[in-house]
Chain A
Amino acid sequence: MAYTIPIGPQHPALKEPANLAVTVDGETVVDVDLRLGYNHRGMEKAAQQRSYIQNIYLTERICGICSMAHTTTFCQGVEELLGLEIPKRGLFIRTLVCELERIHSHLLWLGVAGHELGFDTLFMYTWRDREIVMDLLELVSGNRVNYGMNTIGGVRRDITDEMRTQILEGMQPLEERSHYYLGVASSEATFLRRTEGVGMLPKEKAIELCAVGPTARGSGVEYDVRRDDPLAAYPYLDFEVITSDRGDVLGRTVVRALELIQSIKMCRQLIEELPEGEVRVKAPRKVAPGEVVSKNEAPRGEVIHYIRSNGTDRPARLKVRAPTMANFPAVLYSLKGGYIADIPIVLAAIDPCFSCTDRVMIVDSKHSKRKQVMSWEELRQYGIRWYGEKD
């Protein structure tokens, strides 16, 4: 007998609302359907009515967690249309803030994953360590979130030598903690039990469904925009593209933990090799007609901005595709065949910039009667209890 569970739009812990209808047969998930639109703000239309400079602030707020990634993609697209060459120091600072953002985003995700599994201690630890990065970001840019660092032509603020010392000092405890979290992910029994073999996404499926970011790399797909389509200061850095052959939630966790360590390494290299010079060049307001495809690797995966200009100071068209949209078909696939108890962690494993939800209503599709109302918190607790009683 198949039940359909609609998961409605309100989440106690974070992020955006969305709606999933999960059809179950006993404990196993048979099919999942997705309803977006709660977070659709009409930004692409709004971008056509704002100038390029105003659009920097609009694109920054596409997502509060990958805000630097979006402004970088936008600014470098417009810079390409204008034919500007950005001074090396500006590129380095831009990349530094992007990598600091990646560190804060992955630590945030580790905490959220811990919370979804009932491992609140991990949640508290990672967010406490994240405060180190938030302080560094505030030091460099003036704000903890939505930094306003990018402008067309480079970055708006320079880094002083004291800031450089402080950033290097901050990397030290972060590196120790990252190794600790990697250890937790690889050897902590409770964590492994909930993530090993859960949410399987085989490599062929990840390629076929065009997944991006750590979701794809956790299934062995080696695609990272920083290496394959280099931008900003990445050509000057040495880093590895981390993949895992596992294909499950544990694989995605390990990929993110190792990327944390890579990002710390990159930040150190950026600070040590920071060249002298200007941080920005002056950019004209009007952009000659043209089009550009601009890509970047946000913490969640590949971001693309397509910009078409028409000779005025406003874009004719701005198209943004954020990485979570690309990962949706993959997550819907990976939920099938799993247990209801696994829904929270599998959804969280793509690091969605969309919310999971609150009202879980179980509808018996055969009799069309409402049977039971569960909140997301109860679904989470259900998962924790179900696994606890399993042995």
Chain B
Amino acid sequence: MPVESEIQGKLEEAFGKLGFEIDVPREHRLFVRIPAAQLKEVVEYLKRSLDMTHITTITAIDVGDDIEVLYHFFCQGVAITLKTSVPKADPVVDTITPIIPGAVLYEREIQDLLGLKVKDHPDPRRLVLPEDWEEGVYPLRQDYEIKEE
């Protein structure tokens, strides 16, 4: 898997001292776990040095005490997923729209559904939930129960 190994090599070289966990389960797939503080730097690196221009989507998952945020990119034929984690008590991530403008709607969606706060987002309005939905209630969090009628 030449391309995937090359990307892994480059990432390890650029960020090796920070000890990122890189996983290549098969061809066309690469997963990298990074600390949330390094997010912008790594996305910037992917764009500048690996020719990455396309973001596929952003997933957010409630895993108990933390919220995991996954950024799915696509470059050089490989679907690269950046995994970060923020504490549920203070769920703030940086916006990557200055680097990748196409991420604008995905960041609004994770704000709605999981209550993440995307710092400096150019347009932080509600996207998918109805206007009369209660503030502070995030449907995709574990503690949100669907009431049986």
Please say whether the chains A and B touch (CB closer than 8 A). yes
On chain B, the residues within 8 Å of A237 by CB distance are: none
* A319 proximal to B (CB < 8 A): yes
Q: Could you mark each residue 54-76 of chain B with 1 if its beta carbon is under 8 Å from any beta carbon of chain A, else 0? A: 11110101000000001010100
List the one stretch of A24-32, A42-50, A180-188, A260-268 in contact with chain B. Answer: A42-50
Show the binding face of B for A, using Cβ within 8 Å: 26, 28-29, 31, 53-57, 59, 61, 70, 72, 74, 77, 79, 81, 100-106, 113, 126-131, 139-140, 144, 146
A306 B70 Cβ-Cβ under 8 A: yes
* A382 proximal to B (CB < 8 A): no
- 13 new A-B contacts at CB < 8 Å, known A44-B113, A210-B55, A321-B57: A37-B126, A207-B53, A210-B54, A211-B102, A228-B74, A229-B79, A291-B31, A293-B72, A293-B79, A302-B56, A304-B57, A306-B59, A321-B56
Q: Which residue of B lies closest to A306 (CB)?
A: B59
Q: Which of A37, A223, A321 contacts B129 (CB 8 A)?
A: A37
On chain A, the residues within 8 Å of B144 by CB distance are: 45
Q: Which residue of A lies closest to B83 (CB)?
A: A291
A209 B101 Cβ-Cβ under 8 A: yes
On chain A, the residues within 8 Å of B103 by CB distance are: 210
B57 A45 Cβ-Cβ under 8 A: no
Q: Closest 10 A-B residue pairs measured CB to CB? A: A210-B102, A321-B57, A319-B59, A40-B128, A317-B61, A209-B102, A306-B59, A304-B56, A207-B53, A37-B128
B72 A329 Cβ-Cβ under 8 A: no
Q: Which residue of B lies closest to A302 (CB)?
A: B56
* A208 proximal to B (CB < 8 A): yes
How far is the CB of B74 from the nearest CB of chain A, in Å? 8
Given A229-B79, A316-B61, are A42 and B53 also a contact pair (CB < 8 Å)? no
Q: Is the interface of A mostly helix, strand, loop or mixed?
A: mixed
How far is the CB of A241 from the nearest CB of chain B, in Å? 13
**When A and B form their complex, what is the total count of cross-chain residue pairs whose Cβ atoms lie within 8 Å?**
80
Q: Which residue of A lies closest to B103 (CB)?
A: A210
On chain B, the residues within 8 Å of A36 by CB distance are: 127-128
Q: Which of B77, B102, B105, B113 contacts A229 (CB 8 A)?
A: B77
Q: Which of A44, A80, A295, A325 contacts B105 (CB 8 A)?
A: A325
Residues A309-325 near B (CB distance < 8 A): 316-317, 319, 321, 325
Choose among A37, A293, A325 the residue with the greatest number of B CB atoms under 10 Å from its CB: A293
Rounded to whole angstroms, the CA-CA distance of A319 and B26 in the bound complex is: 21
Q: Could you mark each residue 336-359 of chain A with 1 if its beta carbon is under 8 Å from any beta carbon of chain B, else 0? A: 000000000000000000000000
On chain B, the residues within 8 Å of A326 by CB distance are: 56-57, 102
On chain B, the residues within 8 Å of A304 by CB distance are: 56-57, 72
A223 B56 Cβ-Cβ under 8 A: no
* A308 proximal to B (CB < 8 A): yes
B105 A329 Cβ-Cβ under 8 A: yes
How far is the CB of A9 from the nearest CB of chain B, in Å? 12
Rounded to whole angstroms, the CA-CA distance of A65 and B13 in the bound complex is: 45
A37 B127 Cβ-Cβ under 8 A: yes
Q: Which residue of B lies closest to A49 (CB)?
A: B146
Residues A3-54 near B (CB distance < 8 A): 36-37, 40, 42, 44-46, 49
On chain B, the residues within 8 Å of A293 by CB distance are: 29, 72, 79, 81
A40 B79 Cβ-Cβ under 8 A: no
On chain A, the residues within 8 Å of B72 by CB distance are: 293, 304, 306
**What are 10 pairs between A and B in contact, CB < 8 Å?**
A44-B113, A207-B54, A209-B101, A210-B54, A304-B56, A306-B57, A306-B72, A321-B106, A325-B57, A329-B105
